[in-house]
């Protein structure tokens, strides 16, 4: 008999989880309060980041910390209320960012990242989404030669340890590759295997269309209405209450609020981020990180998207796009940005975990309930492999990766 399962949350992670469960013969209902891919998975920089083998540690350099504390620089912004609310998780994040613990996290994280392209590739093809994806890489650009030299050395190390391919480009090579740059820079690390999606929300939509075309059921509904029912779970949807034997929570940055209602206290927190689109006279050809200033420029269908670093603030606090203003001024030093599109800046939240690893596996105290969230800075990259690993765990088949480091049980 076919086994039934609900997947709650149709961002990149939930949609890919639904596809992988469906592929393994489950009768899957994918539920979201809105259309697929309209939240965090829409507003990101659109990068499928094969280079991101190391999760982001909490920066520990005293100078950087002082800048953050004093509100200088564009990389980090904070609300006192956010620090207060997420304080315990942030202390855990600081603890796990110690080089020894960060190395352990990297070992587990890099195993997931290694599958990013191999897992996205077949889905992109099956969903007919090749038009959205460029394969020309992603650059970290550097203003000073000290930072460039250090980054090129680090890239050598990542190539040796994780097979992350790159090309170091000097000032002239960078200027030739990106003629829109209005001043010479020290150089760039060009990550060759990173893919760039020019409309991230539409890629999730196409994956969701594929799920529906293959017979999956996509419904509007509220995860807050999830209830244990008999030996299974049910949720209220636009078509009434839907019941299934099992359920997966893939609510991205809203997962913490939800699992608290079930009695779980995991060290989760969020890093908010903004984007704004511009209409430059000449755009950059490939996405780039202004590595010493901490923002990304990514060419999108709507225009050139500028995305910001981390803001520590409650998920529902009013927008405070101060980083956007700072990053815009910095980006204007590099290219002629043109005008911002007449739209409110987009605001989203990266779903983070203190130990920098996602939460994937069975809910410790709720039989038939599974967790798949906390993919932080790379949830758009990791959605397909996260979906595959979770589906393999649910179906009891051999696993592509050892899931122990991501187990929800690590938090009790």
Ligand X SMILES: Cc1cc2nc3c(=O)[nH]c(=O)nc-3n(C[C@H](O)[C@H](O)[C@H](O)COP(=O)(O)OP(=O)(O)OC[C@H]3O[C@@H](n4cnc5c(N)ncnc54)[C@H](O)[C@@H]3O)c2cc1C
- Helix (H), strand (E) at residue 233: strand 232-237
**350 interacts with ligand X by CB under 6 A:** yes
Of the residues 267, 321, 345, 351, which one makes contact with ligand X according to CB under 6 A = 351
Residue numbers 128-157 binding ligand X by CB under 6 A? none
- CA 52 – CA 110 distance, rounded (Å): 8
Residue partners of 124: CB distance under 8 A and separation at least 6: 130, 132, 133, 203
Residue numbers 370-389 binding ligand X by CB under 6 A? 373, 375-381
Tokens of 70: 């004093």
**85 interacts with ligand X by CB under 6 A:** no
Q: Residues 211, 219: contact at Cβ < 8 Å?
A: no
Q: Which stretch binds ligand X (CB under 6 A): 46-54, 153-161, 175-183, 326-334?
A: 46-54
Of the residues 32, 54, 178, 311, which one makes contact with ligand X according to CB under 6 A = 32
Burial of 395: CB neighbours in 10 Å, binned 0-12, 13-18, 19+: middle
**117 interacts with ligand X by CB under 6 A:** no
Tokens of 287: 């996405």
Distance of CA 171 to the CA centre of its chain: 30
What string of H, E and C letters represents the secondary structure of 198-215? CCHHHHHHHHHHHHHHCC
Tokens 């000097």 belong to: 170
Query: Pairing relation of β-strands 346-353 and 227-229?
Result: unpaired
Of the residues 6, 11, 209, 361, which one makes contact with ligand X according to CB under 6 A = 11
Q: Residues 227, 241: contact at Cβ < 8 Å?
A: no
**194 interacts with ligand X by CB under 6 A:** no
**12 interacts with ligand X by CB under 6 A:** yes
Question: Least distance in Å: CB of 91 to ligand X?
Answer: 22
Alpha carbon dihedral 150, 156, 160, 163, in 10-degree steps, equals 110
Residues paired with residue 139 on neighbouring β-strands, in sequence order: 190, 288
- CA 188 – CA 289 distance, rounded (Å): 10
**34 interacts with ligand X by CB under 6 A:** yes
Of the residues 5, 6, 7, 10, which one makes contact with ligand X according to CB under 6 A = 10
Cβ atoms within 10 Å, residue 265: 12
- Helix (H), strand (E) at residue 40: helix 40-43
Q: Which stretch binds ligand X (CB under 6 A): 30-38, 103-111, 146-154, 166-174?
A: 30-38
**254 interacts with ligand X by CB under 6 A:** yes
Instruction: List, as one string, the DSSP characters of 294-326.
Output: TEEEEEETTEEEEE--EEE--TTSPP-THHHHH
Of the residues 55, 267, 273, 280, which one makes contact with ligand X according to CB under 6 A = 273
Residues paired with residue 133 on neighbouring β-strands, in sequence order: 197
Q: Which stretch binds ligand X (CB under 6 A): 34-42, 68-76, 182-190, 335-343?
A: 34-42
Q: Which stretch binds ligand X (CB under 6 A): 88-96, 142-150, 158-166, 216-224?
A: 216-224
Q: Which stretch binds ligand X (CB under 6 A): 92-100, 220-228, 323-331, 361-369?
A: 220-228
Nearer to ligand X, 8 or 363 (CB): 8
Question: Least distance in Å: CB of 361 to ligand X?
Answer: 15
Of the residues 168, 219, 224, 400, which one makes contact with ligand X according to CB under 6 A = 224
By CB under 6 A, the count of residues binding ligand X is 41
Of the residues 39, 178, 311, 392, which one makes contact with ligand X according to CB under 6 A = 39
User: Helices 99-113 & 379-395, crossing angle to 10 degrees?
Assistant: 70
Nearer to ligand X, 12 or 181 (CB): 12
Query: Pairing relation of β-strands 4-8 and 133-134?
Result: unpaired
Question: Least distance in Å: CB of 223 to ligand X?
Answer: 3
Nearer to ligand X, 186 or 286 (CB): 286
Nearer to ligand X, 186 or 382 (CB): 382
Question: Least distance in Å: CB of 176 to ligand X?
Answer: 25
Q: Which stretch binds ligand X (CB under 6 A): 21-29, 93-101, 249-257, 397-405?
A: 249-257
Residues that bind ligand X (CB under 6 A): 8-14, 32-34, 38-41, 44-47, 49, 222-224, 250-254, 273, 275, 307, 348, 350-351, 373, 375-381
């Amino acid at each position: 008999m076919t086994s039934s399962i609900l997947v709650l949350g149709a961002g990149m992670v939930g949609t890919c989880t639904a596809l992988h469960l469906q592929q393994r013969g489950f009768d899957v209902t994918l539920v979201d309060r809105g259309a697929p891919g309209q939240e965090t998975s829409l507003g990101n920089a659109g990068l499928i980041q094969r280079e991101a083998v190391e999760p982001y540690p909490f920066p520990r350099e005293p100078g950087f910390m002082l800048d953050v504390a004093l509100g200088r620089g564009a990389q980090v912004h904070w609300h006192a209320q956010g620090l207060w609310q997420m304080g315990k998780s942030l202390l855990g994040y600081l603890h796990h960012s110690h080089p020894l613990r960060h190395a352990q996290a990297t070992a587990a994280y890099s195993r997931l990242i290694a599958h990013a392209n191999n897992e996205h590739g077949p889905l992109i093809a099956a969903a007919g989404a090749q038009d959205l994806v460029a394969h020309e890489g992603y650059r970290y650009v550097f203003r000073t030669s000290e930072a460039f030299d250090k980054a090129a050395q680090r890239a050598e190390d990542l190539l040796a340890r994780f097979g992350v391919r790159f090309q170091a480009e000097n000032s002239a090579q960078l200027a030739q590759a990106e003629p829109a740059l209005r001043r010479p820079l020290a150089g760039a690390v060009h990550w060759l295997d990173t893919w760039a999606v020019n409309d991230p929300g539409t890629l999730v939509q196409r994956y969701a269309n594929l799920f529906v075309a293959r017979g999956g059921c996509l419904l509007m509904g509220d995860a807050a209405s999830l209830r244990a029912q008999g030996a299974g779970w049910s949720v209220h949807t636009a078509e009434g209450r839907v019941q299934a034997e099992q359920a997966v929570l893939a609510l991205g940055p809203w997962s913490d609020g939800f699992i608290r209602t079930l009695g779980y206290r995991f060290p989760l927190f969020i890093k908010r981020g903004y984007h704004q689109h511009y209409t430059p006279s000449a755009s950059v050809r490939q996405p780039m990180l202004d590595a010493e200033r901490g923002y990304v420029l990514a060419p999108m269908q709507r225009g050139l998207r500028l995305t910001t670093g981390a803001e520590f603030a409650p998920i529902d606090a009013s927008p405070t796009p101060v980083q956007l203003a700072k990053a815009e001024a910095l980006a204007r030093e590099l290219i002629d940005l043109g005008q911002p599109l007449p739209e409110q800046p987009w605001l989203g939240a990266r779903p983070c975990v203190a130990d920098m690893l996602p939460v994937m596996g069975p809910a410790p105290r709720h039989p038939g309930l599974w967790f798949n969230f906390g993919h932080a800075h790379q949830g758009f990259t990791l959605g397909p492999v996260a979906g595959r690993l979770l589906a393999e765990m649910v179906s009891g088949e051999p696993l592509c990766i050892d899931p122990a480091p991501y187990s929800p049980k690590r938090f009790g």
